[in-house]
Amino acid sequence: QATLFPYTTLFRSKTELESLKAQQEKYIAEATAVIASLQGDISSNSSLLSQLSAQEKALNADIQQKVAELNRQ
């Protein structure tokens, strides 16, 4: 019986390690999905920010043009 104890402990440890590895792989897959989603959000937000910036520039140019017209009158 003394000779079987280390072997059963090793076998149990291997099983536990395999379980931990599977759990780790699951967490990595979930984290990867979350990162991909966040990257998509960042890309989308960046695109929206660029559009808003362009609209702001156009509005500022329009306002400056109207102010200049009013100053000429």
pLDDT tens-digit series, residues 40-62: 999 999 999 999 999 999 999 99
pLDDT tens-digit series, residues 6-32: 566 666 677 888 888 999 999 999 999
Upper half-sphere CA count for residue 43 (Cβ side, 13 Å) = 6
Longest CA span, the chain: 106
Tokens standing for 44?
A: 């989308």
pLDDT of residue 25: 95
Residue 3 has pLDDT above 60, yes or no: no
